[in-house]
Amino acid sequence: MSLAPNPSPHSVPKPASDQSRRLAVPATAAQGYWAAFELLKPITWFPPMWAFACGVVSSGAFVMDRWPLVVGGIILAGPLVCASSQAMNDWCDRHVDALNEPDRPIPSGRLPGRTGLYIAIAWSSLSLLLGWILGPLVFAATIVGLILAWAYSAPPLRLKLNGWWGNAACGFSYEGLAWFTGAAVMLGAMPDWPILALVVLYSIGAHGIMTLNDFKSVLGDKRMGVRTLPVQLGADRAAQVASVVMAVPQVVVVGLLIAWGLPWCALGVAAVLGLQIWLMVRFLLDDISLLLNPRKNAALYNGTGTVFFVLGMMISAVGVSHITSTTSATSTASANLTAPNVSTKSWATAPRAATLNLAARRSQPLDQTHAVLKARSRPELPAVFYKRLNANRQGNRQGGKGPETSRIESGSFWNFQQEG
């Protein structure tokens, strides 16, 4: 019988397979399901779902026309793509988590063997399936998001080993790519450049938010060779870099909103940026400032200051929607002028575009107006109605009223049906 002491819980962990065999499997199926749910980290789904909502709003499109796609996109951004990235990250970080957070589902043994890996693969497959259903642009964005998620955590790239590359991948996936997907779902095409500009700027700002998440695991990251920014630069300099990276893109957003003729939205983003800067420098009291005590207060700021960051995202999305909705409606009007056979349903469900279409048709030739009217009219109208309407219009062109004008003006418009 060996007299060797039991291994310390703070010692370097054994490989996951050995550790899983020696730890207890969940006693009930319900506990196993709960461990799997915990692995997917629902608390992390909010950022990409919010960014997707910003993309929907910034498109300027009418949500009720495409609400099934909106619901599907929210599910794709949060409970599928984000959740699969979390499962993959926990599987690849099971050794580091045994040091930093040993109570997580995989290092604690509540998800034994390769269960965590299988969940990550299954959720990635479901993400691809839903992305394919939502359209080619969304499918392409899903592929890019999953590639970044796996490259962030899994070898050989394992981008998270370097805080610069890993946080850039996370920021782009969580904020920029989700925003782009929301706009693409609503527009059914590549978003306009103002939307793409916001996508890039808020992705850069999210890099700083990702850095704040690294302060809680500096000890384990050092031992396992994960070179996050707090490990590379030290806690103080990493906090300063994160603050600058979060603030500068928002300053650029304010300038763009002013240039686009949206001063009130620019004022709103500037206000929430001012609150963020105040919290960075002086979070309630000097002794709990993020910049003065980053190790202690990074998580506290991450739970408060980032609220103003995402609020600024929505304010800018609302502002850009005024630009994109006008552009979209004008494009729809132009398309309808050249293609008169547009369904009555699209006319009824796009009121802003319909208003512009009506204004545009007032100046178009009579023959083209007649073609549009014929496409919009009741299908049971006989050909004689259109024949007599043409005769009436010809009479108007010659300076007098046509033979049937008085009948139309008197309200006996539908009497033509009886003469077919």
pLDDT tens digits for range 407-420 = 444 443 334 344 44
Output the six-digit token pair for 245. Answer: 């990276």
pLDDT at 133: 94
pLDDT, the chain, mean: 76
Can you state the angle between helices 305-338 and 263-281, rounded to 10 degrees? Answer: 160
Q: Determine the Cα–Cα distance for residues 380 and 357; give it in Å rounded to an integer.
A: 24
**Type and span of the H or E element at 27:** none
Q: Determine the Cα–Cα distance for residues 202 and 193; give it in Å rounded to an integer.
A: 14
Q: What radius of gyration, in Å, describes the C-alpha atoms of the chain?
A: 30
pLDDT tens-digit map of 230-246: 899 988 788 889 889 99
Confidence band, pLDDT 50/70/90 cuts, at residue 220: confident
pLDDT at 305: 78
Statement: residue 255 has pLDDT above 70: yes
b/e per residue 43-75 (b: at least 16 CB within 10 A): ebbebbbbbbbbbbbbbbbbeeebeebbebbbb
Confidence band, pLDDT 50/70/90 cuts, at residue 201: very high
Confidence band, pLDDT 50/70/90 cuts, at residue 84: very high
Q: Determine the Cα–Cα distance for residues 162 and 43; give it in Å rounded to an integer.
A: 24
Helix ranges (H only) for 227-364 are 229-233, 235-259, 263-281, 294-302, 305-338, 344-349, 351-361
Per the CB < 8 A criterion, the answer to whether 213 and 306 are in contact is no
pLDDT tens-digit map of 329-362: 544 444 444 444 433 333 333 334 433 443 444 4
The percentage of the chain sitting over the pLDDT mark of 90, rounded to a whole number, equals 45
Confidence band, pLDDT 50/70/90 cuts, at residue 274: very high
